[in-house]
Amino acid sequence: MKKSGVILLVAFMLLFTILTGCSPKVKETNTNSATNSNSNSNSGDSSSGEETFNIGLAISMSGGTALFGEGVKRGVDLAVKDFNDAGGFEGKKANVVLYDDEAKPEKSVEIVQKLISQDKIVALVGPANSGNAMAHIQFTQEAKIPEVVPVATGTKITQEYKDADKNYIFRVSPLDGVQVSAILKELIDKQGLTKLGVIHDTEGYGQGGREDIVKQMKETYNLEPTVISAFDPKELNLEPSIREMNNAGVEAVIFYGLAPQSAKLLEARFNEGLNAPIYATWATGDPTVLNLVGDLVKGDLFFVQSYTIDQNEAAKKFHARVMDTYGEDVFPIATAQGYDSAKLILDAIKKVGLDSEKIRDQIESFTDFEGVTAIKSAPFTKDNHEAFGIDEVFIAKYNDDLQIVAAD
| Predicted confidence (pLDDT) per residue in 166-221, tens digit | 999 999 999 999 999 999 999 999 999 999 999 999 988 899 899 999 999 999 99
- Got the DSSP string for 88-156? TBTTBEEEEEEEE-TT-HHHHHHHHHHHHHTS--SEEE--S-HHHHHHHHHHHHHHT--EEESS---TT
What pLDDT was estimated at residue 8? 39
* Segment (H or E) for 59: strand 52-59
Percentage of the chain beyond pLDDT 70 is: 88
Whether the CB-CB separation of 113 and 44 falls below 8 Å is answered with no
User: Of 307 and 20, which is predicted with more confidence?
Assistant: 307
Any residues with CB less than 8 A from the CB of 63 and at least 6 apart, and which?
Answer: 102, 103, 104
What pLDDT was estimated at residue 235? 81
pTM: 0.85
Can you list the domains of the chain with their CATH numbers?
Answer: 35-174+313-389 (3.40.50.2300), 177-305 (3.40.50.2300)
> 103-132: per-residue pLDDT in tens?
999 999 999 999 999 999 999 999 999 999
> 235-250: per-residue pLDDT in tens?
889 999 999 999 999 9
